[in-house]
Amino acid sequence: MIVLKLGGSVITEKDREETLDGEALERAAAAVADCDEDLVVVHGGGSFGHPHAEEWGASTTDGVDDVAGITAIHTAMTTLNAFVLRDLHDEDVPAVPVHPFSAGHRDASGDLSLPSEQVETLVDEGFVPVLHGDLVAHAGKGATVLSGDEIVTALADSLDADRVGVCSTVPGVLDADGETVLAEISAFEDVADALGGSDATDVSGGMAGKVRALLALGSPASVFSLEDLSAFLDGEEPGTTIHGDS
Amino acid sequence: MIVLKLGGSVITEKDREETLDGEALERAAAAVADCDEDLVVVHGGGSFGHPHAEEWGASTTDGVDDVAGITAIHTAMTTLNAFVLRDLHDEDVPAVPVHPFSAGHRDASGDLSLPSEQVETLVDEGFVPVLHGDLVAHAGKGATVLSGDEIVTALADSLDADRVGVCSTVPGVLDADGETVLAEISAFEDVADALGGSDATDVSGGMAGKVRALLALGSPASVFSLEDLSAFLDGEEPGTTIHGDS
């Protein structure tokens, strides 16, 4: 089984609020349609989710408890999800929506519970579940953001995915020179310099956080751009492939 | 905590496809707005879900595996859910959607798993989760119908609800004469004659099935009409109240 992340910046126009990158989304849908393996798709929020999250001060740690804010953020994400489903259906992909707000929650420590048996059953029945960055109920905080990256790592573990793909706006993880794509990473120290030092952190889904999360997975994960999506789904390892030690 | 079912026939025009009973829904929303207790709302499909389910041959036991059918049925139900949320928001109820298709599944024996920790967290955070009759993935069958009644009984148990309310088109469970509302039921034999004998069964959410399911709950359940919704939410026991022995 493959868990595929379609970056929000890949399928939307990042600088124009609630605007699809229709051409990119169609290319992604066509690539997915050619894939013969069991597949779960997760897409990010891009210009649909992020402006609303920012407006309401919502992040993975800062909650929103006004139902108007929750409605605005969640509706923007389900709207983008509906566009993704439409383009997948146009390519005859048996895609079905799975909204994380309906399934998951965080406890008071911020630990995420995201049930996956419904996703597994859908895949077993021949469907392609399509999840998305969203809000989830968070004990003591109302609701907080659940990023697409968090969903990918949670599902890759619980579904015991064979491979993880992160389709991004960059061709892979770049070396310190900023030009060469690293073919493989097996430890954070390999790329600490390139990513801003071993203390590098980012809460907004930047590359240092992605690499750390993907290193912790039990399955290999590739980071690549849309040009390489078909190659990845064909079984190749384009861009940067991250092999954790777990 | 109260788990409240709003019957699909109460809030939609049963004989006109995908048509709300706007006045009834507004009355229900106003009653809910006056409720001070923790509340989970579940609504049925009425004229939104049922015609599509029938068209695609979907029931709680007969599955649909065509993604076009799943999309038609699920979209009709999420559309009705959006109308319910809109009217609740108009009454300042902090209502949020929880779509069962995103959360639950059935195994090969047809046994339902419907996670409820997300619902519990939402209630604890002050929201009113609104679920609805839907489809769920069903091992070996594609997806089957999950009725609002099944959701109510599943949640009442897992959330350990104090009271269950079933707002219906009838004022309660009628005695064999068809005119008197029975105030209490504590065993199926009490009403077997009125409901068509002790072998009475129905797969379509009829009263015999409802009574059997409500008798099996650990919490008292009242069946009443829209006129009595406010009284129920105020703590009264209008219509018929069913006390199981569990």
Task: Using the structure block, give the residue that is written with the tokens 């071993």.
Answer: A198
Instruction: Look at residue B203 and tell me whether its pLDDT is greater than 60.
Output: no
pLDDT digit string (tens) for B42-73?
999 999 999 999 999 999 999 999 999 999 99
In contact, B148 and B8? CB cutoff 8 Å:
yes
Instruction: Work out the burial of residue A51: count CB atoms within 10 Å of its CB; fewer than 13 is exposed, 13-18 middle, 19 or more buried.
Output: middle
Q: Is B102 on the interface with A (CB under 8 A)?
A: yes
Q: Is B112 on the interface with A (CB under 8 A)?
A: no
Q: Do A117 and B113 touch (CB under 8 A)?
A: yes
Instruction: Look at residue B176 and tell me whether its pLDDT is greater than 50.
Output: yes
What's residue B245's pLDDT?
67
| Mean pLDDT of the B149-177 span | 94
Contact map slice: A 53-72 vs B, CB within 8 A:
65, 67, 70-71
Cα of A98 to nearest chain B Cα, Å: 4
What's residue A95's pLDDT?
98
Cα of B155 to nearest chain A Cα, Å: 14
Alpha carbons B185 and B240: distance in angstroms, whole number = 7
Total beta-carbon pairs less than 8 A apart between chain A and chain B:
110
Q: Is A111 on the interface with B (CB under 8 A)?
A: no
Q: Which chain B positions have a beta carbon within 8 Å of A136's beta carbon?
A: 118
Q: Which chain A positions have a beta carbon within 8 Å of B70's beta carbon?
A: 96, 127
Q: Is A39 on the interface with B (CB under 8 A)?
A: no
Task: Give the chain A residue whose CA is nearest to the CA of B118.
Answer: A105
Pick the CATH number of A2-242 from 3.40.50.720, 3.10.20.30, 3.40.1160.10, 3.40.718.10: 3.40.1160.10
Residue in A39, A67, A84, A86 to test binding to B, most B beta-carbons within 10 Å: A67
DSSP B102: G
- Given pLDDT bands bounded at 50, 70 and 90, which one contains residue B22? very high
Q: Do B96 and A115 touch (CB under 8 A)?
A: no
Instruction: Look at residue B182 and tell me whether its pLDDT is greater than 80.
Output: yes
Strand ranges across the sheet with A240-242: A95-97, A128-132, A39-43, A2-6, A163-168, A221-225, A240-242, A184-185
Instruction: Provide the residue ranges of all domains of chain B, joining segments of one domain with +.
Output: 2-242
Closest CA to A102 of A128, A61, A135: A135
Give the CA distances from residue A176 to residues A10, A73, A118, A195, A209, in Å, rounded to whole numbers and listed in that order. Answer: 24, 36, 42, 8, 17
Q: Which chain A positions have a beta carbon within 8 Å of B98's beta carbon?
A: 101-102
Task: Give the chain B residue whose CA is nearest to the CA of A131.
Answer: B102
Spans in chain A with pLDDT lower than 70: 197-205, 245-246
Q: Which chain A positions have a beta carbon within 8 Å of B73's beta carbon?
A: none
Q: Is A137 on the interface with B (CB under 8 A)?
A: yes
Closest CA to B196 of B205, B181, B206: B206
Query: Which of A25-34, B61-70, B197-206, B223-232 has the weakest average pLDDT?
Result: B197-206
CB-nearest to B125 from A65, A85, A122 is: A65
Reported ipTM: 0.95
Q: Which residue has the higher pLDDT, B108 or B174?
A: B108
| Mean pLDDT of the B174-199 span | 84
Strand ranges across the sheet with A134-138: A112-113, A105-106, A134-138, A142-146
CB-nearest to B96 from A70, A138, A139 is: A70
CA B115 to chain centre: 17
Q: Is B187 on the interface with A (CB under 8 A)?
A: no
Instruction: Look at residue B204 and tell me whether its pLDDT is greater than 60.
Output: no
Beta bridge partner(s), residue B164: B3, B221
Give the CA distances from residue A77 to residues A8, A191, B67, B155, in Å, rounded to whole numbers and listed in that order. Answer: 10, 33, 21, 27
What's residue B200's pLDDT?
52
Backbone angles phi, psi at B64, to 5 degrees: -120, 130
Q: Do B67 and A74 touch (CB under 8 A)?
A: no
Give the CA distances from residue A71 to residues A52, A209, B166, in Å, rounded to whole numbers and listed in that order. Answer: 10, 28, 27
**Single pTM value for the model:** 0.96
Q: Do B143 and A136 touch (CB under 8 A)?
A: no
Residue in B74, B102, B114 to test binding to A, most A beta-carbons within 10 Å: B102
What's residue A208's pLDDT?
85
Q: How many CB atoms lie within 10 A of CB B198?
A: 11
| Residue-by-residue DSSP string for B162-184 | SEEEEEESSSS-B-TTSSSBPSE
Task: Give the chain A residue whose CA is nearest to the CA of B95.
Answer: A67
pLDDT digit string (tens) for B112-122?
999 999 999 99
What's residue B198's pLDDT?
55
Tell me the Cα Rg of chain A.
17
Q: Do A143 and B125 touch (CB under 8 A)?
A: yes
What's residue B193's pLDDT?
80
